Amino acid sequence: MAAIYLETFINADIHKVFDLARDIDLHQKSTGKTNEKAIAGRTSGLIEKDETVTWRARHLGIYQNLTTKIISMEKPFQFTDIMLKGAFKTMKHQHIFKKKNDKVLMIDIFEFESPLGGIGRFFNDVFLQNYMQNFLLERNQLIKITAEAEN
């Protein structure tokens, strides 16, 4: 299984950062390159525990659907989503928020496994891990800019 670990320091209130990280509308703004849209489940506003969202996006030139569910949430410190349906064999994304002085440390732990055994692992290593990391970095940058602008 591949894993991506990211840390982003944000000069804002932890509640603000937590809410921005689970904001469906902000997520759609951060994914302009893939034309990602929420098409089922929670399609706008702040996603909550036990809710699902189905995303439709263009990745690698192909439109795909991905359905995720929030399986745990402790406001404003963490929430975790998992894939229910989609192109990955498995996918889990932990979002962790810690107060550090006057800032927030936002941590992403994104674990995924591609289908197709050895071919999928090769694809992860050669391409997908870097692609997904850049996808998350763009999202995190918009969260940071938005949170700090509203601070």
The residue extents of the domains of the chain are 2-149
CA angle 107, 22, 135 (to 5 degrees): 60
User: Do 115 and 89 contact (CB within 8 A), yes or no?
Assistant: yes
Quote the pLDDT of residue 41: 98
Angstrom distances, CA of residue 116 to CA of 90, 97, 122, 126? 12, 34, 10, 15
106-140 confidence digits (pLDDT tens) = 999 999 988 777 776 777 777 888 889 999 999 99
User: Do 66 and 60 contact (CB within 8 A), yes or no?
Assistant: no
Quote the pLDDT of residue 151: 63
CA angle 94, 2, 50 (to 5 degrees): 30
What's this model's pTM, rounded to 2 decimal places?
0.93
Which among 89, 85, 106 is positioned nearest to 97, based on CA atoms? 106
pLDDT along the chain (151 residues), means of 10: 94 97 96 90 98 92 94 98 94 97 96 80 78 93 94 63
Quote the pLDDT of residue 107: 98
Bond from prior residue into 115 cis (ω within 30 degrees of 0): no
CATH class of the domain at 2-149:
alpha beta
User: Do 91 and 82 contact (CB within 8 A), yes or no?
Assistant: yes
User: Do 114 and 19 contact (CB within 8 A), yes or no?
Assistant: no
Placement of tokens 């990391």 in the chain: 133
* Position 70, amino acid: I
Q: How far apart are the C-alpha atoms of 36 and 28, rounded to whole Å?
A: 6
